[in-house]
Amino acid sequence: MTKFKHPHILYQTYRLTYKHMISKKTKYALHALHYLAARYEKGPILISELSESEHIPQKFLETILLELKKSGILDSKKGKGGGYFLAKLPSQITLGKVMRILGGPLAPVSCVSQTAYRKCDECKDESCCGIRFVMKDVRDAMANILDNTSLEDILKQTAKMAGKESFNYVI
């Protein structure tokens, strides 16, 4: 077994390296929303069904769904035949919106964030910081993809990859 002289540095490097992956919370939310989008207009879905189908711990799923409900992405119905359902059309819910609700800004560094801007402490001059320019391009590319990809797009992509795309022939 290798012993590291400064294990805290290795841990910090690991944290920084993986910090910009989406959180489990966001990933679970996207899976849950995909499931609900595939069943859009078929009535409310029970948390237990969603949890079991998508392999998401039920208690964690409850907190995620409540947060999405408070943000207007989901709605719910209580009582018999109750559960959660999309509050909007799948085409109106973008991945960018969901990711910002649950994970905060998309920007990899605070100095390029449009919603949580903060000057970097170590930066001498933002106007000529090459790192900032690259990170702004990263943020813009991510935002462009995520803000222009809806749950409906994900459903279409899933159907296409599964070979179940429906074809409409016009003669």
Q: What is the pLDDT of residues 43-96, one digit of tens each?
A: 999 999 999 999 999 999 999 999 999 999 999 999 888 999 999 999 999 999
Q: How many residues can be counted in the chain?
A: 171
* Statement: residue 168 has pLDDT above 70: no
Average confidence score pLDDT of the chain? 85
Please report the pLDDT score of residue 109 as a whole number.
86
* Pair of tokens at residue 87: 């509050």
* Residue 131 or 83, more confident: 83
Tell me the C-alpha distance between 121 and 119, whole Å.
Answer: 6
pLDDT level of residue 17 (50, 70, 90 thresholds): very low
Domain 21-159 has CATH 1.10.10.10: yes
4-13, 32-41, 48-57, 154-163: which has the minimum mean pLDDT? 4-13
Tell me the C-alpha distance between 25 and 129, whole Å.
Answer: 33
* Statement: residue 18 has pLDDT above 70: no
Please report the pLDDT score of residue 164 as a whole number.
57
For 22, 33, 72, 146, 157, the CA distances from 150, given in Å and listed in that order, are 17, 11, 15, 8, 11
Q: Which residues contact 131 (CB under 8 A, 6 or more apart)?
A: 109
Average pLDDT over residues 4-10: 45
pLDDT level of residue 163 (50, 70, 90 thresholds): confident
Average pLDDT over residues 8-33: 69
pLDDT in tens, 89-122: 999 999 999 999 998 888 888 888 888 888 888 8
* Statement: residue 170 has pLDDT above 70: no
Query: Are the CB atoms for 39 and 50 separated by under 8 Å?
Result: no
